[in-house]
Amino acid sequence: MSAVEPLPQPAVPSAPSARNGRPRIPEWLRLRLPTANTFGQTRALLADLRLHTVCESAKCPNHWECWSKGTATFMIAGDRCTRACGFCAVTTAKPFALEADEPERVAEATQRMKLKHVVITAVARDDLTDGGAEHFRQTIEAVRAQNPGIVIEILVPDFLAQDSAIDTVLTANPHIYNHNLETVRRLTPTVRSRATYDRSLSVLRKVKDKRGDTLYTKSGIMLGLGETEDELFTALADLRAARCDILTLGQYLQPTLKHLPVSEFIPPARFAEYGERARQMGFVHVASGPMVRSSYHADDFSPGAR
């Protein structure tokens, strides 16, 4: 039997402290490391093609499972972000120049990994006039050229809600356009850097205004940061008002002691209740659970006729 993988520890305990002085986490958040050889093969492939993933850069607790299944979430435009969100482990620093061949390398990776559904995200690039939108377009088109029929899901920054940047990405015709709301309105100034609650909603709304039902929009919210249920349900209603189709709800886990502490560990039963509530509100697809992340098991949803 494989060992238990220790997840990032919160700064606020919900259980007695462990012997090493760090707080314990609930049993339902303890993962077992997979032993499949595929993990090493995935890591070697990514290294060979010099690609970044949000799995590693954001210290995602699911990356052992995903890489062992031969999948990963590609993070383009470098691994240095121009923003410093309180929840995110991606490095904040002055970014390097874009790599012109990165779109082709991502495309080659999806082909070698035989992916049928790919998720492509990026660091925020506020240093670029278009926020990296053209780089997204090139990557989407390169992936589709090498993998006809692949489902392409993108997880994008807000592009400062610039119509020109959003339009650039949409010209590449992704199947799913994901932009995370991340948290409730009250907590947004503390949790996010530069991004605003209303701007994120406006991005999702603009995509729907421009493309309607020709693509799906998606968003995610982290729980356990101190939000109330009423605030959560208001956020879900705001997403539905923006015609958001797909929702993810997951437990926030503090990636390092420098990041925001966990306020509460949400039990799986409550996640199930929230997920059912969201479905009743009209979301086409909902993934709700402690370990759910934006791209975790993303291929559970298959775009099709409405």
Q: Is position 6 within any domain?
A: no
pLDDT tier at 40 (50, 70, 90 boundaries)?
confident
Sign of the four-CA dihedral 51, 54, 59, 62: negative
**Rounded to the nearest 10 degrees, how much is the dihedral formed by the CA atoms of 263, 65, 142, 117?**
-90
Domain assignment of residue 190, given as a range? 35-297
Number of H helices, E strands in the chain: 10, 12
Q: Is position 2 within any domain?
A: no
* Position 181 pLDDT exceeds 70: yes
Q: What is the pTM of this model?
A: 0.89
Q: Is position 14 within any domain?
A: no
Lowest mean pLDDT among 25-29, 145-149, 213-217, 224-228: 25-29
pLDDT value, residue 33: 66
* Position 275 pLDDT exceeds 80: yes
Give the CATH number for residue 82. 3.20.20.70
Q: Is position 79 within any domain?
A: yes
pLDDT tier at 303 (50, 70, 90 boundaries)?
confident
Q: Is position 29 within any domain?
A: no
Compute and round to an integer the Cα radius of gyration of the chain.
Answer: 19
Neighbouring CB atoms inside 10 A of 282's CB total 12
* Position 17 pLDDT exceeds 50: no
Cβ-contact 177, 159 below 8 angstroms? no
In the chain, the number of structural domains is 1
Q: Is position 304 within any domain?
A: no
Q: Is position 30 within any domain?
A: no
pLDDT value, residue 1: 34
* Digit-coded pLDDT (tens) for 70-83: 788 999 999 999 99
What average pLDDT is seen over the chain? 88
Amino acid identity for residue 113 in this structure: M
* Digit-coded pLDDT (tens) for 194-208: 999 999 999 999 999
Tokens at residue 32, please?
Answer: 């077992």
pLDDT value, residue 230: 98
Looking at the chain, the whole-number percentage of residues with pLDDT higher than 70 is 88
Lowest mean pLDDT among 25-34, 42-51, 77-86, 104-113: 25-34
Burial 129-139 (b: 16+ CB within 10 A, else e): ebbbbbbbbbb
Tokens at residue 143, please?
Answer: 């992936």
Q: Is position 1 within any domain?
A: no
